[in-house]
């Protein structure tokens, strides 16, 4: 990755992978003279608290002397991704973007929680199993989104990177099964 991050205004930048978890990642900063300086190196067994910045996605601070051109080299290994979405932006832009994103996500999780609660209340009031399965499906979907956005690794299993690496597969399987059971109950089809 080569970019002229030469700015007289912003000297400190944020490097955001827009991914919550990578099996391995290494980043080097190369200056005009060609000397490579390692900025970050992480393996698949790294816990959340070992990140340089406690943020839901992998995030680094990059310091550039104002007005100088730098090259950023990134090596990564994932399970399935063939490209890595990256953003390099100044800290103010990052703070504004991440605040808006978090507000939208927590609002959608709040609506999801209200729907789960409504399904549970309906189940308790009517003893019908369909609202219970609807709540179970929505709860699984909410957890899947929570994990996809990096919040689950940050808040739920931050000490277990191996759980985080396999969580999407397990949650996806649960969603398929819970969705099928809910649809079967809702449509009242026979097995």
Confidence (pLDDT) at 60? 81
Question: Strand order of the sheet with strand 2-3?
Answer: 2-3, 70-77, 24-30, 36-42
- 25 versus 182: the higher-pLDDT residue is 182
pLDDT bin (cut points 50, 70, 90) of residue 81 is low
Residue spans per domain, the chain = 8-94, 101-187
Q: What angle do CA 101, 39, 49 make, to 5 degrees?
A: 55
Confidence (pLDDT) at 4? 45
- 174 versus 21: the higher-pLDDT residue is 174
pTM: 0.73
Of 44-48, 109-113, 127-131, 168-172, least confident by mean pLDDT is 44-48
For residues 137-146, give the mean pLDDT.
92
**CATH-assigned architecture of domain 8-94:** Sandwich (2.60)
DSSP for residue 4: -
Please state, for a pLDDT cut of 90, what percent of the chain lies above it: 29
Measured CA to CA, the distance from residue 30 to residue 20 in angstroms comes to 25
Residue length, the chain?
A: 191
Residue 178, pLDDT > 90, answer: yes
Residue 69, pLDDT > 80, answer: no
Measured CA to CA, the distance from residue 52 to residue 58 in angstroms comes to 9
Q: Is the C-alpha dihedral spanning 118, 123, 125, 128 positive or negative?
A: positive
Helix, strand, coil content of the chain in percent (nearest 5)? 50, 20, 30
């Amino acid at each position: 990755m080569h970019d002229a991050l030469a700015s007289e205004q912003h000297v400190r930048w944020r490097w955001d992978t827009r991914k919550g978890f990578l099996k391995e990642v290494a980043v080097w900063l190369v200056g005009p003279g060609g000397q490579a300086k390692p900025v970050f190196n992480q393996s698949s067994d790294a816990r959340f608290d070992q990140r340089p910045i406690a943020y839901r996605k992998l995030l680094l601070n990059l310091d550039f002397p104002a007005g100088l051109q730098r090259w950023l080299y990134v090596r990564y290994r994932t399970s399935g991704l063939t490209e890595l979405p990256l953003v390099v932006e100044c800290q103010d832009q990052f703070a504004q973007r991440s605040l808006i994103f978090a507000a939208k996500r927590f609002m959608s999780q709040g609506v999801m929680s209200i729907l789960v609660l409504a399904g549970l209340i309906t189940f308790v009031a009517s003893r019908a199993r369909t609202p219970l399965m609807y709540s179970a499906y929505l709860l699984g979907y909410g957890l899947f989104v929570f994990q996809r956005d990096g919040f689950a690794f940050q808040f739920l299993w931050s000490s277990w990177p191996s759980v985080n690496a396999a969580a999407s597969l397990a949650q996806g399987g649960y969603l398929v099964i819970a969705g099928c059971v809910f649809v079967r109950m809702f449509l009242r089809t026979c097995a």
